[in-house]
Amino acid sequence: MDITPWMTNHTGWADFILVGLFRQSQHPALLCVVIFMVFLMALSGNAVLIILIHSNTQLHTPMYFFISQLSLMDMMYISITVPKMLLDQVLGVSTISVPECGIQMFLYVTLAGSEFFLLAAMAYDRYVAICHPLHYPVLMNHRIPGDPALVPAVLKLSCSDTSLYEVFMYLCCVLMLLIPVTVISGSYYFILLTIHRMNSAEGRKKALATCSSHMMVVILFYGAAI
């Protein structure tokens, strides 16, 4: 996104000129169709997963509850930017207003922080299930469920003093990263320690299998964030 403001003649708002994938592509129409198809597959896949979990009473457990919430967040994630991006491409619009940009960034950062804490809760769920299986029904029940990089660039366009806001923003980002990472790292430390102490090879294999999907999600999510 080009951070050079473009002043409109009617509203006086400073709009941002978007320089995205379509301008750099030799076949923008084909790229638009591909992105739209991937968007539909992501929405339908997550929607089917949520419906299956909520319709099957055997899946009404904390682990599957967290999975359904993760699917819901993924649907909200892609719905923030992709539909508008495709609509702007179809209509030939290459700008975004300041309020729209602010709303998008707020929702994106909020969902990112929520997903950080959700992944931490899922790690704690696996920790309780493996390290304290007898206490699992008590500790994990239905009552106790156990691109942000653009923000600094947008702040530079403000004519007012944003130093306090910048400090608050970076503090929130550090907490959103530090707390979940600490919980996830601590949970998996005790999980691996418990698995190492198991005498049964079958038990080790089963315990690792229950954590493998969550570990993959954590690696992909934090890897993309880095």
Domains in the chain, number: 2
Both 50 and 89 in a single domain?
A: yes
**CA angle centred on 50, ends 45 and 51, rounded to 5°:** 100
Both 178 and 146 in a single domain?
A: yes
Which residues span the domain enclosing 44? 20-93
Total residue count of the chain as it appears in this document: 226
Both 204 and 149 in a single domain?
A: yes
Residue 113 lies in a domain: yes
pLDDT exceeds 90 at position 152: no
Task: Please identify, among 48, 72, 93, the residue that sits at the C-terminal boundary of a domain.
Answer: 93
2-7 and 14-17 strand pairing: antiparallel
b/e code 179-210 from CB counts within 10 Å (16+ = b): ebbebbeebbeebeebbeeeeeeeeeeebeee
Residue 176 lies in a domain: yes
Both 134 and 155 in a single domain?
A: yes
Both 78 and 111 in a single domain?
A: no
pLDDT exceeds 50 at position 5: no
In the prediction, which pLDDT does 44 show?
A: 92
Both 102 and 197 in a single domain?
A: yes
Residue 24 lies in a domain: yes
Task: Please identify, among 65, 93, 121, the residue that sits at the C-terminal boundary of a domain.
Answer: 93
- Which pLDDT tens digit goes with each residue over 158-208? 555 556 655 666 676 677 777 888 888 888 888 888 888 888 888 888 888
| Contact criterion met (CB below 8 Å) for 22 and 92 | no
Residue 148 lies in a domain: yes
pLDDT exceeds 60 at position 221: yes
- Does pTM surpass 0.85? no
pLDDT exceeds 90 at position 115: no
Residue 177 lies in a domain: yes
Both 66 and 131 in a single domain?
A: no
Helix (H, G, I), strand (E, B) or coil at 94: coil
Residue 47 lies in a domain: yes
pLDDT exceeds 50 at position 63: yes
Residue 89 lies in a domain: yes
Residue 152 lies in a domain: yes
pLDDT exceeds 50 at position 10: no
Both 88 and 103 in a single domain?
A: no
Joined tokens for residue 28: 């923008």
Task: Please identify, among 72, 93, 114, the residue that sits at the C-terminal boundary of a domain.
Answer: 93
- Which pLDDT tens digit goes with each residue over 11-49? 455 677 776 677 677 777 888 888 899 999 989 998 998
- Which pLDDT tens digit goes with each residue over 101-114? 888 888 888 888 88
